[in-house]
């Protein structure tokens, strides 16, 4: 018997696959010999799927289909994409039967479509994880057919805990005043956040506030030189595998609102001003941040509304209420809870 894991395209999707996969393996090891299920991954040759899992030996088998998105294509492109998807769906049915799959776990994205459709066609239980407050188009289509639909934003979800690494919970602490700030534009960087950081850096320096700045791989040298011209010392980086430790050091964050980042910041109890990526599909980053703002646990500004004086004023507020609220909001063990749900099927 096997558990099929499918979906990806972006790191946000793939991080969920990896987290739940690790929890399934840990659970099997804890139960002892004879208790493990074969794990199979199905993704696409497009996006980041192959880079993440192409060499991953935790999966008994890995399949990467020639598929692509449908929405952002012209008329002929849509027809070709649908043909590729139909072909991959037929292959997915064969994979389901060959591996005697007992459940399909889908995290969405176009690479999940063939296997998710195959699960529906064969009557294989389908479990969907939606990372964002605004449901993706594929997940919205398949939600009525899913055995379980998991979303940390949904009160009816069987698992509300988001799969966040334990280190973020271990690093949680209550903030009161801002002595350090972290700017998080993601590994690709965010020009609006970079511009804001450099704009308010002199005032932060005057206040003795330490600056930690994820400028993006392409912008590191440019941003470092800008700080040097200002005569300000700042910790500037692009990608870092120590992001949990850097979040721990900060008292205030200014960040994009991708799902993984949002829940990692929440688990760390780090008060955050979210600046959503304006071109995210379905404006999902805005709705992710809005979920916390409505609970009075975060701040939210569109890029066009960013003003240095407003941001500096936020940093003078008492951080404790939001920090304490975040610590109470998010449950631990999201990955383990999802793994247990999959295994129960």
**Tens digit of each residue's pLDDT (9 = 90 or more) over 153-181:** 999 999 999 999 899 999 999 999 999 99
Question: Exposed (0-12), middle (13-18) or buried (19+): which is 6, by Cβ within 10 Å?
Answer: buried
The two three-digit tokens of residue 251, written as one number: 């008292």
Q: What is the pLDDT of residue 72?
A: 65
Q: What is the pLDDT of residue 156?
A: 93
For the chain, residues with pLDDT lower than 50 are none
Domains 2-164+332-344 and 167-329 equal at CATH topology level: yes
DSSP conformation letters of 232-243: ---EEESS-TTH
Question: Exposed (0-12), middle (13-18) or buried (19+): which is 313, by Cβ within 10 Å?
Answer: exposed
Q: What is the pLDDT of residue 180?
A: 98
Q: Domain-by-domain residue ranges, the chain?
A: 2-164+332-344, 167-329
CA distance 264 to 243: 10
Q: What is the pLDDT of residue 331?
A: 87
CA distance 159 to 136: 18
Q: What is the pLDDT of residue 126?
A: 98
Largest CA distance in the chain: 65
Question: In the 8-state DSSP scheme, what is residue 330?
Answer: P
38-44 sheet: strands from edge to edge: 61-65, 38-44, 2-6, 101-106, 126-129, 148-150
Q: What is the pLDDT of residue 69?
A: 67
Helix (H) or strand (E) holding 78: helix 75-98
Whether the CA torsion 147, 151, 153, 159 is positive or negative: it is positive
Task: Return left, alpha or beta for 314; rule: phi > 0 is left, psi -120 to 50 is alpha, else beta.
Answer: alpha
Topology, domain 2-164+332-344: Rossmann fold (3.40.50)
pLDDT digits (tens, 9 = 90+) for 70-81: 666 666 666 777
CA distance 250 to 33: 43
Q: What is the pLDDT of residue 229?
A: 97
Please state which CATH number belongs to domain 167-329.
Answer: 3.40.50.2000
The two three-digit tokens of residue 72, written as one number: 């952002």
DSSP-derived 3-state class of residue 39: strand
- pTM for this structure? 0.89
DSSP conformation letters of 160-185: -S----HHHHHT-----S-SEEEEE-
DSSP-derived 3-state class of residue 58: coil
**Which residue do the tokens 């609220």 mark?**
325
Residue 328's CB is within 10 A of a number of other CB atoms, namely 9
């Amino acid at each position: 018997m096997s558990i099929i894991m499918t979906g990806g395209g972006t790191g946000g999707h793939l991080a969920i696959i990896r987290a739940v996969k690790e929890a399934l393996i840990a659970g099997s090891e804890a139960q002892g010999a004879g208790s493990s299920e074969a794990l199979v991954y199905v993704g696409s040759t497009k996006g980041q799927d192959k880079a993440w899992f192409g060499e991953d030996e935790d999966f008994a088998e890995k399949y990467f289909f020639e598929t692509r998105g449908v929405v952002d294509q012209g008329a002929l492109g849509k027809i070709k994409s649908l043909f590729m998807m139909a072909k991959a769906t037929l292959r997915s049915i064969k994979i389901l039967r060959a591996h005697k799959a007992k459940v399909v776990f889908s995290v969405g994205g176009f690479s999940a479509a063939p296997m998710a459709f195959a699960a529906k066609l064969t009557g294989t239980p389908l479990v969907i994880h939606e990372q964002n407050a605004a449901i993706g188009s594929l997940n919205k289509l398949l939600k009525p057919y899913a055995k379980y639909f998991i979303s940390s934003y949904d009160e009816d979800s069987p698992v509300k805990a988001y799969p966040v690494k334990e280190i973020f919970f271990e690093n949680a602490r209550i903030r009161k005043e801002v002595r350090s700030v972290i700017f998080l534009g993601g590994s690709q960087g965010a020009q609006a956040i970079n511009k804001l950081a450099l704009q308010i850096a002199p005032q932060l320096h005057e206040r003795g506030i330490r600056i930690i700045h994820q400028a993006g791989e392409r912008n590191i040298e440019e941003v470092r030189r800008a700080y040097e011209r200002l005569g300000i010392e700042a910790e500037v980086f692009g990608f870092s595998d120590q992001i949990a430790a850097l979040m721990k050091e900060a008292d205030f964050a200014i960040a994009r609102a991708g799902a993984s980042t949002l829940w990692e910041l929440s688990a760390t109890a780090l008060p955050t001003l979210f600046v959503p990526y304006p071109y995210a599909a379905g404006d999902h980053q805005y709705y992710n941040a809005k979920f916390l703002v409505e609970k009075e646990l975060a701040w939210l500004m569109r890029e066009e509304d960013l003003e240095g004086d407003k941001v500096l004023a936020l940093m003078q507020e008492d951080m404790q209420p939001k920090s304490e609220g975040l610590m109470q909001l998010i449950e631990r063990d999201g990955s383990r809870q999802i793994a247990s749900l999959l295994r129960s099927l």
